[in-house]
Amino acid sequence: HAHHHNLGTGQGFLWEFRNYVLGTSPVLIPAFFISIEAGIAWSIGIISYAAFAAYAHQLQHDTPIKCVWMSIPVHYVHHKYNQWYHNYGIGVDWWDRLFGTYQETEWIEAQELSQSEATMLTIKWY
């Protein structure tokens, strides 16, 4: 994580997605012992969230101004202002709000405004 902070970049959507899926694979398998249907449903949910988290993470590194579903792109400001104890969220900010780690920050400056022409697909994909 410290290496990630020093670089201030994401790995790319596909690498992030791969890491999230591999990291959650130990919790994918037990659901199949309940039933095939439970395993498939659980897997679809985990894989869907992994795709969303990988996209949101990369978007906040590449074009944070396009992260429109949060009032501030918490992961981006976590890096930009070295907030080691605040704004941990990758795809959503409600966990930070729930656990008291959310910190409102004025973050839009010239660098972010220059990204206004970019689309929500302007990220590093691999």
Pair 46, 27: CB distance under 8 Å: yes
Tens digits of residue pLDDT in 55-91: 999 999 999 999 999 989 999 999 888 888 999 898 9
Q: Specify the pLDDT at position 58.
A: 95
Show the tokens assigned to 16.
């992030």
Mind giving me the DSSP string for 50-114?
HHHHHHHHHHHHH-GGG-TTSSS-HHHHHHHTT-TTS---SS-SHHHHHHT---------HHHHT
- Domain of residue 40 covers 2-113
Q: Do the domain assignments include residue 10?
A: yes
Tens digits of residue pLDDT in 87-116: 989 899 999 999 999 999 898 888 888 888
Overall domain count for the chain = 1
Q: Specify the pLDDT at position 2.
A: 63
* Other beta carbons less than 10 A from residue 41's beta carbon: 13
Q: Specify the pLDDT at position 114.
A: 83
Q: Specify the pLDDT at position 40.
A: 96
Q: Do the domain assignments include residue 126?
A: no
Q: Do the domain assignments include residue 125?
A: no
Q: Do the domain assignments include residue 98?
A: yes
Res. 4: pLDDT tops 70: no
Q: Do the domain assignments include residue 39?
A: yes
